[in-house]
A and B are shown apart, each in its own frame.
Chain A
Amino acid sequence: MSTQILTIAPAGTWSLDPVHSSVGFEVPYLAGTFKGEFHEIGAGLTVEDERASLEGSAKVASVDVKDENLAAHLQSPDFFDAERYPELRFSADEIALDGDRNVSVDGELTIKGVTKPVTVTGTVTAPIADAWGNDRIGLNLTATVDRTDFGVSWNNPLPSGEPSLANDVTILADLQFVKAG
C-alpha cells in the first residue's frame, strides 16, 4: 500500500491577499470577550515537495479596537510596547495536514520580543482558481497562548479580587493566499 503525501497546497510561493485576510485576538474580559484586529499584516507560504513553511507578522501600531484610548493603552509598555517591539511575528516549517484538510502547525510566536513555541490548528481549503487567473487557498488558524508568558501581564482586579482580564488569549488568523496560476 502506498502512502499518499499530503501537502497544504500545491508547490510554489504563495502570497498573502491582505485585504481578504484578518489577524485578530479574543480574550475574556469582565463578563464578555474583548476582541481586536491588526490591520497591517503580512504573511508568506512556501510549499516545496512535502515541506511547507509559513511566516507571518502584524504591526502592533495597526491594532484596531472600538476605543482610541484602549488602542493607545494596547500600544503602551503595559501591553505590546509598540515603540520597542513594533511587530508580532510567527514562523513555522512544520505543517501537518490530515485527509479532512485539518492543519496542525508547530511554530514560534514572538510577542513583545519574547519567542515561544506554539501549536496552531485549523483548516485549509482546497485550491480554487479565482477570477483573476490565480490559484487561491484559505487558511484558517487558531492558537491559544498565555499572554503572561510573553510579558503582557496587565490586569485590574474586580471588586471580588479576581482579575478582570484573562491570561489565555485566542489568536485568530483567517488568511487567503494566492499564487499565479
Chain B
Amino acid sequence: MTRVLGISGSLRRDSHNTSLLRAAAEAAGPDVELELYDGLKQVPPYDEDDDVHPRPPAVARLNAAIEEADAVVFSTPEYNSSIPGQLKNAIDWISRPLATNALRNKPVAVVGASTGGFGAVWAQAELRKVLAVLGARVLDVELPVPHAHTRFDEGDLTDEEIRAALTEVLETLADEVREREEAKAVA
C-alpha cells in the first residue's frame, strides 16, 4: 500500500483544490491510500528565531505527516501568477535544514485548479521548481484544472477526464515509490 499525503494550497472550506484532492482520494487505485492534510492554516509565518527545537507544533505535525507518507501530492491554486503564500511558507519551514529535509528524495506530484482558463499552470511550475530545490523526486507531470467552478458539483468532481488523470498521477507516484524502495533494497 502506497501512502500518499495530499496537501491543498488553498485554505478556504469549499476550495476547488481541496475538492480536487478529495476526488483524487476516491480515484486512487486499490494500492494507493491518499490522506488529506488539514493543518496548513495553523503553520505560523517562517521566522528563523522560531526555528528551534522543539519546533512550533503545527510545523512539527506537518513535518511528521510528510515523513510518514511515501509520497506527497500538492494541489495548488494560483495567486498573482504564483504559489499561494501560506503553502510556500509551509514549504520554507519544511526545507530546513536542506540536507535532511522531509521532502528530500520523496516522490511528489503537483496538480492545480483555478477558476481562470489556465488551471494554475504557472503556480504548478513554480511549485515544482521549489520542490526540486528541496531535493524532492518531482514527477514531470502537470494536471491543470481550468474553469474549476464548472467541474465540481457541491465539491464532487464531474469531469471524468480529470478523474482519470488523477488516477494516473497517483499510479505514477506509486511507481516512483516502488522504484525508490527497490533501489534502497539493492544498495
Contact = CB atoms under 8 A, between A and B. Distances in A.
Interface stretch (A1-9, A75-83, A139-147): A75-83
Contact of A86 (B133, B134, B180, B187): B187
B183 A76 contact: no
B133 A78 contact: yes
A116 interface: no
Q: Identify the interface centre among A72, A75, A76, A78: most chain B CB within 10 Å of its CB.
A: A76
Nearest to B99: A72
Interface in A34-91: 68-69, 71-73, 75-78, 83-84, 86
Contacts, number: 38
A83 B105 contact: yes
Given A83-B180, A84-B180, A86-B187, A77 B98 contact: no
Interface stretch (B3-11, B53-61, B135-143): B135-143
B22 interface: no
A71 B98 CA distance: 10
B135 A72 contact: yes
A71 B135 CA distance: 11
Interface residues of B, number: 16
Of B133, B180, B184, which is in contact with the most chain A CB atoms at under 10 Å from its CB? B133
Interface residues of A, number: 13
Nearest to B105: A83
Interface in B78-112: 98-99, 104-105
Contacts of B104: 72, 76
Contact of B98 (A69, A84, A154): A69
Given A68-B99, A72-B98, A72-B99, A77 B132 contact: yes
A88 B21 CA distance: 39
A77 B105 contact: yes
Given A76-B135, A77-B138, A69 B105 contact: no
Interface in B135-160: 135-138
Given A68-B98, A77-B135, A77-B137, 10 more contacts: A71-B99, A73-B133, A76-B133, A76-B135, A76-B136, A77-B136, A77-B138, A78-B133, A83-B183, A86-B187
Interface of A: 68-69, 71-73, 75-78, 83-84, 86, 154
Top 8 nearest A-B pairs (CB, nearest first) are A76-B135, A72-B99, A69-B98, A83-B105, A72-B98, A78-B132, A77-B137, A84-B183
